[in-house]
């Protein structure tokens, strides 16, 4: 795959119109590919001497556990996302990273990041934008768990995933492939798997969307957006701000 066609370049290109030298630097970030099986943590909370990764294919979740053994999934990462970038800058990893599916990811050392940002400050701006967008998503997830009901919360989250996947060429307004189980959605949305099952059935019976056989289908996109009060502005997908 040419570097300009990679999910990372598609994503960062939404904020910065990337030049050939910047594409060359991003290409080098794909120079250390690795494969990881599903269900085995890539990064452990408290781990030191870590690497960051650029996710090329597959899905990953970031999560924290509590003393009683419960798990809160903070977010899911999709192709084009950085994995463990914050943990790379901290002395120790502050969360776990687990592949949901088998993934292909390129290892990125902190020395490569600093060198790339020194040579191409606009790339640092693009990565800062990506990190800021991730923070905006965490804010929305907090609002969902605190104030949205189960239907609104589930619809908002699945619409957000669709927007993120569309940005990197893996989704459309009609839907997208999704490997998440109801248990994973439950851990992300603060609901039980039984509750998730009921909500998905209600949304399907209302003719709004369906999630079956590994695919999310939007049947009435506008009505689903209205139900979830989903405003795409926080994802900032309107095109490059830096030309």
98: phi then psi, degrees, rounded to nearest 5: -125, 130
* C-alpha span between 161 and 178 (Å, rounded): 9
pLDDT at 45: 81
- For 89, counting Cβ atoms within 10 Å of its Cβ (0-12 exposed, 13-18 middle, 19+ buried), the class is exposed
pLDDT at 191: 96
Domains and CATH numbers, the chain: 3-132 (2.60.120.10), 134-235 (1.10.10.10)
Both tokens of residue 160? 């957000």
**Average pLDDT per consecutive 10 residues, the chain (243 residues; last block may be shorter):** 84 87 89 94 80 93 88 95 78 86 93 88 88 91 95 98 95 97 96 97 98 97 97 78 64
pLDDT at 164: 95
Q: Is 148 helix (H, G, I), strand (E, B) or coil?
A: coil
pLDDT at 54: 93
pLDDT at 92: 75
* C-alpha span between 28 and 116 (Å, rounded): 9
């Amino acid at each position: 795959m040419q570097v300009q066609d990679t999910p990372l370049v598609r994503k960062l290109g939404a904020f910065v119109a990337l030049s050939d030298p910047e594409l060359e630097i991003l290409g080098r970030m794909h120079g250390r590919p690795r494969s990881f099986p599903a269900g085995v943590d890539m990064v452990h909370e408290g781990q030191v001497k870590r690497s960051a990764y650029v996710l090329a294919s597959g899905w990953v979740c970031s999560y924290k556990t509590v003393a009683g053994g419960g798990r809160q999934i903070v977010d899911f990462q999709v192709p084009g996302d950085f994995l463990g970038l914050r943990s790379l800058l901290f002395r120790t990893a502050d969360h776990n990273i687990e592949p949901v599916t088998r993934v292909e990811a390129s290892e990125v050392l902190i020395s490569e990041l600093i060198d790339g940002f020194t040579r191409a400050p606009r790339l640092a701006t693009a990565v800062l934008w990506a990190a800021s967008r991730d923070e905006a998503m965490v804010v929305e997830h907090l609002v969902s768990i605190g104030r949205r009901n189960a239907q609104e919360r589930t619809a908002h989250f699945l619409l957000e995933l669709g927007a993120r996947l569309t940005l990197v060429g893996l989704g459309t307004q009609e839907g997208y492939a999704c490997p998440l189980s109801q248990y994973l959605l439950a851990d992300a949305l603060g609901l039980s798997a039984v509750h998730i099952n009921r909500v998905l059935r209600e949304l399907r019976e209302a003719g709004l969307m369906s999630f079956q056989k590994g695919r999310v289908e939007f049947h009435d996109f506008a009505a689903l957006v209205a139900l979830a009060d989903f405003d795409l502005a926080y994802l900032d997908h309107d095109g490059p701000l830096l030309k």
